């Protein structure tokens, strides 16, 4: 099952997804600007979603859609479950990001700044 020619590529897809997660987490934990923190969190979401879809991938697989006109063989289809889960995860990620941005607007309204060093209660 394991095709040795494509090993590097295999590593790259998971590797990229995990790297995106790490970059996002770094941004969320280290950056000083609230907006950048929120961007970091949504970058993390993207990385996780990529990782989830990659788990369901099948080499040479087709989309899990039984349309007329092309060979629809269930055995050759990629796993549809992670795709359905990712749909849910994306929507939830959107909801959380929207709430986060609303909070950022509130904080800006209150303190007139986006720098977390100047908002004393945000440090821990």
Partner 1 sequence: MVGTPVLFIVIPLLAAFLIPLLGMLWKELVRIVPGLVLAYMLVLSVNLLNHVLIYGPIVEVIAGWRPPLGINLVFSAFSGFLVTLVVFMGLLIWVYSYRFKRNVDFEPAKKYFLLLMMLITGSVGIILTGDIFNMFVFIEITGISGYALTAFYTGRDSAEASFKYLMLGSIASTFLLLAIMIIYSQVGTLNMADIASKMHTIKPVYKIISFIFFITAIGIEAEIFPLNGWAPDAYTEAPGPVGAAFAGIVVKASVYAIVRYVYTIFDLSGAYDFLILIGLITLIMAETAAIRQERLKRMLAYSSIGQMGLVMVAFGMGTEEGVFAALFMILNHAIIKSLLFFSGSYLVYNSKHKYIKEVNGMSKYLPITSLLFALGAFAIVGLPPFAGFWSKLSMLTAAADSNMLFIIALVLIVSVVELVYYLRVVNRIYFFNKEEKTEPKKPTFNALIVMITLGALILVIGFYPDAITGILHKASADLMDKGQYIHDVLSLNK
Partner 2 sequence: MKKIIVIILLGTLGFYTAHTFFDIGFGFPHFEHGIKDVYLQKTVSDLKVSNTVTSIVVNFRGFDTLGEVTVLFLAVTALGGILYKRRHEVGERSVLFSASSIVTSGSKLLFPAIILLGVYVFIHGHLSPGGGFQGGTIIATGFLLMLLTYENYSVNHTVLSLVESLAGIAFAGIGLLGFMHGGTFLQNFIEPGVLNNLFSGGVIPIIYIMVGFKVGAELTGVIYTVLHEKG
Q: Which residues bind partner 2 (CB under 8 A)?
A: 1-3, 6, 10-11, 13-15, 18-19, 21-22, 25-26, 29-30, 51, 54-59, 63-68, 74, 77, 79-81, 83-84, 87-88, 90-92, 94-96, 98-99, 101-103, 105-106, 108-109
Contact in structure between 82 and 61 (CB atoms under 8 Å) = no
Which of partner 2, partner 1, none interacts with 6 (beta carbon under 5 to 8 A by kind)?
Answer: partner 2
Which of partner 1, partner 2, none interacts with 50 (beta carbon under 5 to 8 A by kind)?
Answer: none
Cβ at position 70, least distance to partner 2 in Å? 11
Residue 20's alpha-carbon distances to 7, 30, 55, 75, 87, in angstroms, are 20, 15, 16, 31, 19
Which of partner 1, partner 2, none interacts with 67 (beta carbon under 5 to 8 A by kind)?
Answer: partner 2
Burial label for 33, CB within 10 Å (0-12, 13-18, 19+), is middle
C-alpha to C-alpha distance for 90 and 92, rounded to whole angstroms:
5
Q: At what angle do helices 7-30 and 34-55 cross, to 10 degrees?
A: 160
The answer to whether 96 contacts partner 1 (rule: CB under 8 A) is yes
């Amino acid at each position: 099952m394991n095709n040795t020619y494509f090993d590097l590529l295999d590593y790259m897809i998971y590797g990229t997804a995990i790297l995106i997660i790490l970059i996002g987490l770094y941004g969320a934990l280290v950056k000083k600007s609230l907006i950048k923190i929120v961007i970091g969190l949504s970058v993390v979401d993207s990385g996780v979603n990529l990782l989830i879809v990659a788990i369901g991938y099948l080499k040479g697989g087709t989309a899990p859609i039984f349309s007329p006109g092309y060979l629809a063989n269930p055995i050759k289809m990629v796993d549809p479950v992670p795709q359905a889960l990712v749909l849910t995860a994306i929507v939830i990620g959107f909801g959380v990001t929207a709430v986060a941005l609303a909070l950022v607007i509130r904080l800006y309204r209150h303190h007139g700044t986006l720098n977390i060093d100047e908002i004393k209660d945000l440090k821990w």
